[in-house]
Structure 1
């Protein structure tokens, strides 16, 4: 488990330096006194031990004479530090001066301006979560991987740990002779290091920031191969996929499909993959994935797929691999100058990854999955407390909060909107111009805006970017008929419970579709008009490309809903989202929402079918009367079972539907999920629980992987602790990453007091991986009793919980309680977390968003609760 290390006294290495006035500790960007130009890292790493050792040399340019420097190091036991200028060596004392990993070097003599080599000998602890250099035991073997973004390289070597410092890295690693070692670059040589260790020497890297440096050590399975030459890259590229021992068969899919995804990116960017080789490596402890140049790291479930992997896992593979490989250009080739512009990395990788994922396998639903995530981001962006896509970051404790749905989903959808507005080819010219302009360098938002404007030939796009990137909120476009077109007006969307703000406007590309004809205008003021040029039903937000919602009068909703069941998926999803948003803002009625849900229940695409029903199910947070609770179950049944029955009998066995069209399979799975969890259909739940029991009993064909997560949840909730114990034992024995993830997720959905007590015990179960224990704690708040239990645990023993959470995830802890709906709950959440923000290393934004979500629920219940009760309680 990890402990945040506080500043500690450093070992005195030489005579004391002459006293000088202490400089203020830089808690954000470092002063401009020094700039690294190259790193040489040599590490001694045995994953079976608790600590590792290192020697780091940093070629540095000193900008002015000084007797001290700030740099970064977190939890490093530095035993020797020196500065060498030519043939002269000056001793230094290293002190960590802030828990975020700011350190100071005090020299025994003055460093002149110019070139200097800083040298360090040190040791440090392995971490257990995915931060710094972390280790895990898998089976009988120990492994180690790195995860440095955003500011965890400093846990592994002294550094200037900022994204704007891009230098070559030369890495060598001593590791146990029986183990393999991989890094960002190809291995050049290896030899005996003594003591059962082998030294592995790697080629110098292209210029990289510290957070993209990566390596891994362990008895890995490696499936080597190559990415074939193509029209853009004229030679084959060394390409391998890597995982823990015994997983080679599950790597075959990634070995085959990774090069296909890479080639799609090369075609779009018009330039070859920019590094010497590409390895993709799996880790059971990794949370998500990381775009390390030449050595991309993924959670096991994202990279390790069985032959009959469910569509959801294949979609996850495609979306995430495409996202991380997009980063090799946007983020690795061109890196942001500072964390303020991390959105340039993530927004673009989100857009490009989803685009390529859809091209790779269109039937998996990548496109609609991206839009569903963007609609969810609009909910966050509509709150009283929020942040723009681009927010100035001045302190280390603000960095983690920048990796949120504004950066990823809002930014990605904004790029979809801009691409549709400019046209795909003009947008691509801007992207290519930007990557060539800043190749192997760094850029900020202004540079990006200038690149897109110049490359596309449209300088007018810059105000569009700025209006969405630099302010919070979601535009809502009021639409009313006006002859052959619409009168349109914009304002900030404000749901009930969100305080009014000063008037805002955006430069909004407003597009509609009639038949095959798109009509667009750029709405720059509070109001305007849109002339419609087609015929038939006029559909706002053509192609679901815009980052905005719309509001209609009741007649307008009726007209639109009459044709909604036949709309393309993204447009139908936009209808459902905007209708619910109009209700949550106090305009559309709840009966209109229910009518819309019934209409869209016939849509062919699962997300369009179930978006409104899922929103309706959220009113259960209000604490409905028994009659309304029964009415909600009845409505959920009406919205799912007839459609499900029309698809034929539900069969849960493997490959039960043969070569059925994938979209129909996905629709059936989604309807089964909704009918079991919201309608709580008793027969369906019995069927799911029985299949889960049979599967756990050894019947390999009893349960298709596409239904397994749901079946295990139902079995946990309906069969209780005895089943949980069997499931826990199966997890410990299994080497199947997807089964482990699904089973742990089911154990976290405990719903009764006894089940919740058992799940909390598993949080301390060392037989599970550290990430699995954390997943149980994160998952329990999805159910009301679990939420209360985790809140009580954190009230009693906050420090124990905090120790089990990697530093990057700590600011997000308050969000686990956003499902509460009561003024007393908001007060309790604030009382728990407000005094803990410093210990968490941030979280003020996330706490504010949590409190806002709770208070929004309270306000919506007060304003609409009687109307909801009247409809559902009939």
Structure 2
């Protein structure tokens, strides 16, 4: 599943970022449950393990207008233990009958009692005669609801040339198949599925497999029967229905398709072409051919605050704003996002679908690997985009969360559905990706691929835990992978490698390394211990490698001169240098590879904000960076300047002083790259231009704001590449008249993709008065049900206290638009950007009134982030002020 946190390049495009789950003040304590479960080979379950399903035959008749469906399912199962009751997962389903038989044509035994447990989302069927161990068929007839939230079977309404349209889709991850099919809705219970649906004759029905048969019923409806799926987990089943169009191409024997609402098919061509290239790459890399006969990528209107796409096997669901390329609005970053999402979800067809984690403890086996594969594949297939440096941004997103007390291990123990929902976070995705990158670098890409291929062959159509992978990689590499992997996945936190001043002897540089722990909010925390693979090299020299074990290591690096630790930036750790060592590196900054420039900047900034290095380290680097530096290095400077500007927002005079410096530093860069794209310029420059204009607009640069307004007024001066950027600057500085104009444009717009973007812009205003108008609009009837919650989240980016208070005041209305399992993430997410101590009390009060103890991870993470933000403003900004005061005027 694609989440906002996966890639910095698409943060604005795919959903709402999650924050880590709380693990308590000691931070190291969560490692024990994960290790215990791993050692014992246990699988968590919320169901009695007295029966195991092998096949579901599902018949579904949706009524989109009435928002209901009728259904039946016949489940082939094996009873393992004698008893009179079968318990399945079921949520919001009403049962009309239940019966069991020993097989086709055998006598039916009707259930003596049906007990629905709403709290635990189960249905139990008790029979008068006990069921002896053996094989049975359970037939259930029931009905359910079609929702407007993106869980279970849901509807999305949109405008079209034919008028208002309604399409149906399913979203079952992590635990919502039970809203459509009474089932053993846990990933370890794999089974095959045969789905049929009775639907309006003129509409297109979709599922994981191709249509095997279709027949008209004579009443304007048809019965569509899909081929039986391979053995898979319930959360991967998919059904879609609507006025769709489909284009396809055959690649290596697989029919690849793209499906859109009618009239938008041309916007999916890039996605189809990308799918062909990615399939070839993955068939080769994994050593197991994609096993289904077809693979569709289905674009849906609307959006979710929580995800952008879902890897249903053979039927990937993707919101159209991250898949389609509309020539009137789409930019280079949109194109990269479209490819990235396709690569991520297609990677899941192997990591997640073919081989599935046994339980949500090992969710990272799905998401960490898909995140790693998406970036690896984009770099391989589109080297012209120069996206390899994006790995630093992803790693930084993980480290920033992993260095707070509220982090958790990559492999974490999950007990409840709500906890599973909260596990889709930066630790699972981005730390998982970074650890994989480090381990591949440690063993070598050939040994890593060999291990992955062996893992796929050994466990296809099955379920695994992390050690199943480490076993295969260790066998291929003949290196102690498992020990290092355990250190980085079974305990939380970020290692800190301290580098003493190097000593040159006989043409080599001698390094002394000490391992600690990087913590942002526990400066005196006792460090955990990791075995850390380290690569170091002098500028222009050859790399040397070691593993820091037991807290210390010595390393001899070829050549003499400034030494960079974590050369190539594959390691998951922070590096802090002795003052002379850092000064030498800073003096040779222009000679470092761009990825190492980025890594040094990222470490310098984070270490300074945690009080472990002077803030001047980063600021001096930013001041000295040449205009010819890699655009992504400049992108890091732009990002930090934007963050500092936000840190000063409660101090107008100090903020103005910093903004003056930042504008003076960035204006020459904008003049250098210009507002207009040049023929043949690098895509990284195109992306930097967008970031630069938006940040200068946020800094209050009058020239940039004026130019954005001029181009907005003169549409001929508004090229597609700058449309979203210019509109963002205009919306950010909107007065009442401008807000009204944007609102009118949103109301008049008929293209769902553009319409949703315009409503989002209405929520971007810096003026609190306009932000309040956006909040009121978000809970009205005007934006669609999937857009409103996202608008409130966008207001919260700049006005967290305003948005959180509004959400609480309108909690009943918002609860209708945010599904129950996601509320524990949504509401805390609105307040997490605050720096007001009062927000901490508000978040605690919300949790006390609404959340169980197991569902408070996001609340506690939000609180930890607020506390750290307050600390930075009080303890670090004075150092920035002093540096600014010392600069020549």
The TM-score, its normalising length taken from structure 1, stands at 0.91
Equivalent residue of 1:329, what SS? coil
Determine the C-alpha separation between the residues in 2 that align with 1:832 and 1:601. Answer: 48
Residues 1:462 and 2:462 aligned together = no
Equivalent residue of 1:282, what SS? strand
Determine the C-alpha separation between the residues in 1 that align with 2:518 and 2:559. Answer: 28
Q: How does 1:514-593 map to 2 (within 5 A)?
A: 514=538, 515=540, 517-534=542-559, 536-593=561-618
Q: How does 1:478-493 map to 2 (within 5 A)?
A: 478-483=498-503, 484-493=509-518
Structure 1 position 249, deviation (Å) = 1.4
Residues 1:721 and 2:736 aligned together = yes
Report the equivalent of 2:239: 215
Residues 1:181 and 2:211 aligned together = no
8 A Cα contact 1:27 1:395, kept in partner: no
8 A Cα contact 1:709 1:746, kept in partner: no
Shift in CA distance, 667/290, structure 1 to aligned 2, threshold 3 Å: same
Residues 1:89 and 2:108 aligned together = yes
Q: How does 1:44-443 map to 2 (within 5 A)?
A: 44-86=61-103, 87-92=106-111, 93-99=113-119, 101-139=121-159, 140-227=164-251, 229=252, 236-286=253-303, 287-307=307-327, 309-443=330-464
Determine the C-alpha separation between the residues in 2 that align with 1:526 and 1:352. Answer: 32
After superposition, give the CA deviation of every residue in 1:139-185 in whole Å (9 maximum; x if it has no partner): 22221011111001001110000111111100111100010111111
Structure 1 position 871, deviation (Å) = 3.2
Determine the C-alpha separation between the residues in 2 that align with 1:806 and 1:499. Answer: 38
After superposition, give the CA deviation of every residue in 1:108-166 in whole Å (9 maximum; x if it has no partner): 33222111211111111111121111111222222101111100100111000011111
8 A Cα contact 2:800 2:832, kept in partner: no
Determine the C-alpha separation between the residues in 1 that align with 2:58 and 2:830. Answer: 39
After superposition, give the CA deviation of every residue in 1:414-439 in whole Å (9 maximum; x if it has no partner): 10111111111010000000000001
After superposition, give the CA deviation of every residue in 1:542-597 in whole Å (9 maximum; x if it has no partner): 11111111111222222212222343332111111110122122132223332122
After superposition, give the CA deviation of every residue in 1:263-313 in whole Å (9 maximum; x if it has no partner): 111121123212111111011235311111111111102221135731111
Determine the C-alpha separation between the residues in 2 that align with 1:189 and 1:40. Answer: 15
Q: Among residues 743, 760, 764, which one is paired with 1:745 in the alignment?
A: 760
Report the equivalent of 2:842: 828
Q: Among residues 812, 822, 829, which one is paired with 2:825 in the alignment?
A: 812
Structure 1 position 73, deviation (Å) = 0.6
Shift in CA distance, 470/424, structure 1 to aligned 2, threshold 3 Å: same
After superposition, give the CA deviation of every residue in 1:393-450 in whole Å (9 maximum; x if it has no partner): 1222210111111110000011011111111101000000000000111111121111
Number of equivalences:
825
Shift in CA distance, 606/836, structure 1 to aligned 2, threshold 3 Å: farther
Q: Among residues 790, 795, 800, which one is paired with 1:787 in the alignment?
A: 800
Structure 1 position 217, deviation (Å) = 0.6
Shift in CA distance, 370/78, structure 1 to aligned 2, threshold 3 Å: farther
Equivalent residue of 2:838, what SS? helix
Equivalent residue of 2:717, what SS? coil
Report the equivalent of 1:629: 655
Determine the C-alpha separation between the residues in 1 that align with 2:587 and 2:786. Answer: 47
Report the equivalent of 1:798: 811
Determine the C-alpha separation between the residues in 2 that align with 1:519 and 1:609. Answer: 29
After superposition, give the CA deviation of every residue in 1:787-811 in whole Å (9 maximum; x if it has no partner): 2221211332323222211345322
8 A Cα contact 2:83 2:130, kept in partner: yes
Shift in CA distance, 513/705, structure 1 to aligned 2, threshold 3 Å: farther
Report the equivalent of 1:769: 784
Structure 1 position 499, deviation (Å) = 5.7
8 A Cα contact 1:224 1:241, kept in partner: yes
Determine the C-alpha separation between the residues in 1 that align with 2:142 and 2:836. Answer: 51
Report the equivalent of 2:621: 596
Q: How does 1:14-53 map to 2 (within 5 A)?
A: 28-53=45-70
Shift in CA distance, 238/795, structure 1 to aligned 2, threshold 3 Å: closer
8 A Cα contact 1:336 1:442, kept in partner: yes
Determine the C-alpha separation between the residues in 2 that align with 1:808 and 1:416. Answer: 32
Is there any run of 5+ residues in structure 2 with no aligned partner, and where? 1-42, 504-508
Equivalent residue of 2:497, what SS? strand
Shift in CA distance, 526/425, structure 1 to aligned 2, threshold 3 Å: same
Report the equivalent of 2:18: none
Q: Identify the range of structure 1 (597-606 vs 565-574) with the bigger mean alpha-carbon deviation.
A: 597-606
Report the equivalent of 2:37: none
Residues 1:863 and 2:875 aligned together = yes
8 A Cα contact 2:154 2:169, kept in partner: yes
Structure 1 position 873, deviation (Å) = 5.5
Determine the C-alpha separation between the residues in 1 that align with 2:293 and 2:747. Answer: 38
8 A Cα contact 2:416 2:854, kept in partner: no
After superposition, give the CA deviation of every residue in 1:754-785 in whole Å (9 maximum; x if it has no partner): 201220122124332222112101111111xx
8 A Cα contact 1:41 1:57, kept in partner: yes
Determine the C-alpha separation between the residues in 2 that align with 1:358 and 1:676. Answer: 31
Residues 1:472 and 2:498 aligned together = no
Q: Identify the range of structure 1 (72-81 vs 798-807) with the bigger mean alpha-carbon deviation.
A: 798-807
Q: Identify the range of structure 1 (109-118 vs 471-480) with the bigger mean alpha-carbon deviation.
A: 109-118
- What is the aligned-residue RMSD (CA, Å)? 2.1
Residues 1:837 and 2:851 aligned together = yes
Determine the C-alpha separation between the residues in 2 that align with 1:42 and 1:718. Answer: 53
Determine the C-alpha separation between the residues in 1 that align with 2:541 and 2:688. Answer: 27
Determine the C-alpha separation between the residues in 1 that align with 2:387 and 2:96. Answer: 51
Equivalent residue of 1:770, what SS? coil
Report the equivalent of 2:667: 641
Q: Identify the range of structure 1 (810-819 vs 240-249) with the bigger mean alpha-carbon deviation.
A: 810-819
Residues 1:755 and 2:755 aligned together = no
8 A Cα contact 2:116 2:122, kept in partner: yes
Determine the C-alpha separation between the residues in 1 that align with 2:829 and 2:200. Answer: 42
Shift in CA distance, 599/402, structure 1 to aligned 2, threshold 3 Å: same
Report the equivalent of 1:685: 705
Is there any run of 5+ residues in structure 1 with no aligned partner, and where? 1-25, 230-235
Displaced runs of 4+ in structure 1, greater than 6 A? Answer: none
Determine the C-alpha separation between the residues in 2 that align with 1:732 and 1:436. Answer: 53
Determine the C-alpha separation between the residues in 2 that align with 1:194 and 1:95. Answer: 38
Equivalent residue of 2:108, what SS? strand
Q: How does 1:650-661 map to 2 (within 5 A)?
A: 650-651=675-676, 656-661=677-682
Equivalent residue of 1:145, what SS? strand
Equivalent residue of 1:543, what SS? coil
After superposition, give the CA deviation of every residue in 1:706-755 in whole Å (9 maximum; x if it has no partner): 32233222222333233333323433444545534432332121222320
Equivalent residue of 1:542, what SS? coil
Report the equivalent of 2:519: 494
The TM-score, its normalising length taken from structure 2, stands at 0.89
